[in-house]
Amino acid sequence: MGTVWLARDERLRREVAVKQLLLPPGRNAAGTAQLRERMEREALAMAQVRHRGIVTVHDVLAEDDQPWIVMEYLRADSLDEFVRSRGPLPPRLAAEMGGQVLDALVAVHQSGILHRDIKPSNVLLTRDGQAVITDFGIATFDGAATLTESGQVIGSPAYMAPEVVNGHRATAASDLWSLGATLFFTVEGRSPYQRETAVAVLAALIIEEPPTPENAGLLGPAIASVLRRDPTERASAAELALLLGAAAAPAGAVPSRPDPERTVRVRPAYGATPDRSTPVKEPGQSAPALRNRRSGKTDQDFGRFWSSPVKWSGAKKAAAALGVCALAASVFIAWLNGERDDSSRRPTAVSATPAPKGTSVAGRVPTLRITCVLDTCAHVLVRAQDVGALLDRELTAGEQVQFFDARLDVVLEDASLPEVDVNGVPRDWGKPGERQEFSVTRE
């Protein structure tokens, strides 16, 4: 019931996405008021959740008695567009994407909100590897009255949980079913209950068991754990996170003691407690390529596709361009941008005890070193010009990352929390709570 426009904020000199409410002809006053309230709830729902996997709301405006939502704008493809144009994803990438969506969805649930419309067209994939949930148009708050008309089905039937189709109230487990159906689409190229008509879809949801995906590989158990008709038998978010983490792990990776010369730290999905060290391949070795049997493409293939420019059909239809500042786990970025033998492109040693200032691995002084000396540090983003995001997450106590690229662009959400060294020299980048963006060049 809305159109998203690409606009420019003249005061702050930035591009934004603006959602306009479209009122169907012949709608009575009560129906119009309901649609307006639903749109205002959408803005409130998105604004309640601060998460890099949720679109950011800047403002809600009223013009001619019509609400407009002003949101952050980011070029991205929807998961639906991506799969239909380039084919199903290999299980490893699908699992990593699913972990990001789950992490954002848990943040939504912890805020007392149900999304109720998780589906491929409502998941955006940014060019630097972050999955972002959009469209909270039918989201509900705990304890709040619903805005659904009597007898009206709200949501997308192909991704709707069976209990919702049967008239029961949606729960967090219903959103997890929808995520499972979305993951099914990601590896199969179709929804688990794809039929010719919406009525046929609803009938199948009521009486048929979900099919088993043919191309899910190690992702199969994660999908099956939430595609269970009885919501009480579905995996919890924490259980699903563990299954997704196992499916996303590089083939042949064996948990071991971290080697500071060859190890990066990976932020696990919500609730997961796997070993936090993912071995980086030795120079000259090739990481095994996982192939989707349906599309015939590997994760390396999608790395090349993902980093290619996004095609646009026009600024007015910018719904697929909503998003937030991108987050991606380091391993996912490596897959999406193609595996590289140059280990200097990755953050090196992450240790519980920070290394002495001015020193580094193999005696080299890094271009940039960031050390978290508190219990936790705010979000840190580090990009290299020809690679994209190298680090995009929070740091934990005692964690240290360092980079050797010629030029790096850095964003510190709270510049006072981490210690920052540039070319071996300590720098003070800002005051408490201050966000800083800067570039550093290797000397």
Side-chain-side CA neighbours of 46 within 13 Å: the count stands at 28
For residue range 117-154, list pLDDT tens digits in order. 899 999 999 877 889 998 766 656 554 444 344 344 45
| Most confident among 33-37, 39-43, 61-65, 267-271 (mean pLDDT) | 61-65
Calpha distance 41→57 (Å, rounded): 12
- Per DSSP, 374 falls in state S
Confidence bin at 343 (pLDDT 50/70/90): very low
Query: What is the SS3 assignment for 23?
Result: coil
pLDDT higher than 70, residue 261: no
Per-residue pLDDT, averaged over 38-48, amounts to 69
The pLDDT of 429-443, averaged and rounded, is 80
Tell me the pLDDT band of 24, cut-offs 50, 70 and 90: low
* Better-scored residue on pLDDT, 299 or 315: 299
Bigger pLDDT: 238 vs 348: 238
Of 63-72, 170-179, 339-348, 368-377, least confident by mean pLDDT is 339-348
CA atoms within 13 A on the CB side of 150: 0
Residue 312: how many CB atoms within 10 A of its CB?
A: 12
pLDDT at 139: 56
The answer to whether residues 217 and 323 touch, using CB atoms and an 8 Å cutoff, is no
Distance CA 374, CA 376 (A): 5
C-alpha of 250 from chain center: 19
Q: Are 390 and 346 in contact (CB under 8 A)?
A: yes
Q: Give CA–CA dist 333/150, Å, rounded.
A: 46
Round to whole Å and give the CA distance between 376 and 378. 7
Q: Which helix or strand (DSSP H or E) is residue 93 part of? A: helix 91-110
The C-alpha atoms of residue 315 and residue 317 are separated, in whole angstroms, by 6
How confident is residue 354, by pLDDT bands cut at 50, 70 and 90? very low
Residues 111 and 136: beta-carbon distance below 8 Å: no
Cα pseudo-dihedral 56, 389, 263, 98, rounded to 10: 50
Q: Which residue has the higher pLDDT, 390 or 331?
A: 390
Class of domain 2-72: alpha beta
In the 8-state DSSP scheme, what is residue 345?
Answer: G
Instruction: Give the chain's mean pLDDT.
Output: 71
Would the pLDDT of 421 be above 60? Answer: yes
* Single-letter amino acid, residue 45: A
Q: What is the pLDDT of residues 59-104, one digit of tens each?
A: 877 777 677 888 888 778 899 999 999 999 999 999 999 999 999 9
User: What number does CATH give the domain 77-143+154-310+329-341?
Assistant: 1.10.510.10
Q: Are 140 and 170 in contact (CB under 8 A)?
A: yes
Using the structure block, give the residue that is written with the tokens 């009597």.
150
Q: Cβ neighbours of residue 415 under 8 Å, at least 6 residues apart?
A: 429, 430, 431, 434, 435, 436
Question: Could you confirm whether 117 is annotated as catalytic?
Answer: yes
User: What are the C-alpha distances in Å from 423 to residues 257, 315, 320, 356, 414?
Assistant: 29, 42, 40, 13, 21
Per-residue confidence band for 300, with pLDDT thresholds at 50, 70 and 90: low
**Residue of 77, 80, 103, 117 with catalytic role:** 117
Q: Which of 315, 443, 385 is nearest to 3 (CA)?
A: 315
User: Is it the case that residue 334 has pLDDT exceeding 60?
Assistant: no
Indicate if the pLDDT at residue 325 is higher than 80: no
Cα angle value 225/210/271 (rounded, 5°): 20
Predicted local confidence at residue 114, as pLDDT: 86
Quick check: 300 and 90 in contact, CB under 8 A?
no
More confident: 62 or 213:
213
Angstrom distance (rounded) from CA 47 to CA 86: 33
pLDDT recorded at residue 31: 63
Any idea where the domains of the chain sit in the sequence?
2-72, 77-143+154-310+329-341, 343-443
Query: In terms of DSSP H, where are the helices of 208-298?
Result: 220-226, 237-248
**pTM to 2 decimals?**
0.56
Three-state SS at 269: coil
Does the pLDDT value for residue 173 go beyond 90? yes
Give the pairing type, strands 123-126 and 76-78. Answer: antiparallel
Token readout for 54 is: 């949720």
Closest CA to 50 of 5, 116, 113: 113
Identify the DSSP state of 402: E
Least confident interval from 6-10, 163-167, 249-253, 289-293: 289-293
Which is higher by pLDDT, 284 or 18?
A: 18
Residue 28 is predicted with a pLDDT of 65
Check residue 302 and give its pLDDT.
Answer: 52
Q: Which residue has the tokens 């786990």?
A: 329
pLDDT of residue 337: 42
State how far Cα 360 lies from the chain centre: 32
pLDDT at 267: 34
Reply yes or no on whether the pLDDT at 233 is more than 60: yes
**Least trusted range by pLDDT, from 97-111, 246-260, 344-358, 413-427:** 344-358
**Is residue 385's pLDDT more than 70?**
no
Q: What's the pLDDT score for residue 406?
A: 82
Of 49-53, 273-277, 308-312, 429-433, the least confident: 308-312
Tally the residues of the chain. 443
Neighbours of 428 (CB within 10 A): 9
**Best CA proximity match to 380, nearest among 355, 361, 402:** 402
Kindly indicate the confidence band of residue 390, based on its pLDDT and cuts at 50, 70 and 90: confident
